[in-house]
Amino acid sequence: MAAKKNTPTGRVSRAKLRKKLHQEYALKLYVAGVSRKSAQAIRSITEICDEHLKGRYRLEIIDVYQRPAQLRGVQIIAAPTLIRTFPLPLRRLIGSMADKDRVLVGLDLGPLS
């Protein structure tokens, strides 16, 4: 039986699903110092990645106060900001990372329900 193609109903082909399940992710989390919000964002993103991307992600944590040179060309307007640099397309999540469902949708790892 042939794999189904993407349809308006949201079905994904088996090949695409298999590829997504083995896809490596490259993430950058921009935080502002050692604030409570920064610590919470680091904890939330690490837990989500360990649960949903175990062994398939690289997470770089960048403190905008300690490494301001890392901000050139990135257009960070608030912290925390999470940027998925791979797989393309680039995706950004700005603000609290406490809402797990929001983060999963933002990373294209969960349903829009």
Helix (H) or strand (E) holding 40: helix 36-52
Q: Average pLDDT over the chain, rounded to whole? A: 84
Does 78 score more than 70 pLDDT?
Answer: yes
Report the pLDDT averaged over residues 51-75. Answer: 91
Higher pLDDT, 68 or 42: 42
- In this structure, which topology does domain 24-106 adopt according to CATH? Glutaredoxin (3.40.30)
What is the arithmetic mean of pLDDT over 39-52? 96
State yes or no: cis peptide before 111, omega within 30 of 0: no
- For position 75, what pLDDT does the model report? 85
- pLDDT digit string, tens, across residues 11-32: 656 555 445 567 899 999 999 9
